[in-house]
Amino acid sequence: MLDLIIIVGSLIICYFVGNHIEKNHYKDIQRREVALFKKRFVSFSKNTVNPAKVESSTLVSAGVVVGCDYFKFFVAGLKNIFGGNVSAYETVLDRGRREALLRMREQALALKADVVLNTKIETVILDPLGTSQNPKVSILAYGTAIKYVK
Partner 1 sequence: MFLTNIESVPGRKITAVCGMVSGSTVRAKHAGKDFLAGFKNFFGGEIKGYTELLEESRNEATQRMVRQAHALKADAIINVRYATSAITVGAAEVYAYGTAVKLDEVVAKQV
CA-nearest of 147, 149, 143, 148 to 117 is: 143
Decide if residue 113 touches partner 1 (CB under 8 A): no
Stretch binding partner 1 (CB under 8 A), from 30-38, 77-85, 104-112, 125-133: 125-133
Q: Can you state the angle between helices 2-36 and 87-110, rounded to 10 degrees?
A: 40
Binds partner 1 (CB under 8 A): choice among 41, 64, 102, 107: 64
Q: Which of residues 67-96 bind partner 1 (CB under 8 A)?
A: 67-70, 72, 92
> C-alpha angle with apex 75: 13 to 78, nearest 5 degrees?
145
Q: Which residues have C-beta within 8 Å of that of residue 96, sequence separation ≥ 6?
A: 64, 65, 66, 123, 137, 139
CA–CA separation, 116 and 118 (whole Å): 7
Whether the CA torsion 30, 32, 34, 39 is positive or negative: it is negative
Per-residue x/- mask for partner 1, residues 14 to 53, rule CB under 8 A? x--xx--xx--x--------------------x-x--xxx
* Cα 100 versus chain centre, distance: 5
Closer CB to partner 1, 47 or 85, in the complex:
47
Stretch binding partner 1 (CB under 8 A), from 1-9, 31-39, 77-85, 131-139: 131-139
Decide if residue 143 touches partner 1 (CB under 8 A): yes
User: Cα–Cα distances in Å, from 32 out to 7, 26, 29, 104, 147?
Assistant: 36, 10, 5, 12, 22
Binds partner 1 (CB under 8 A): choice among 33, 90, 94, 127: 127
**Interface residues toward partner 1, by CB under 8 A:** 10, 14, 17-18, 21-22, 25, 46, 48, 51-55, 57-59, 61, 63-70, 72, 92, 99, 117-118, 120, 122, 124-128, 131, 133-134, 136, 138, 140, 142-144, 146, 149
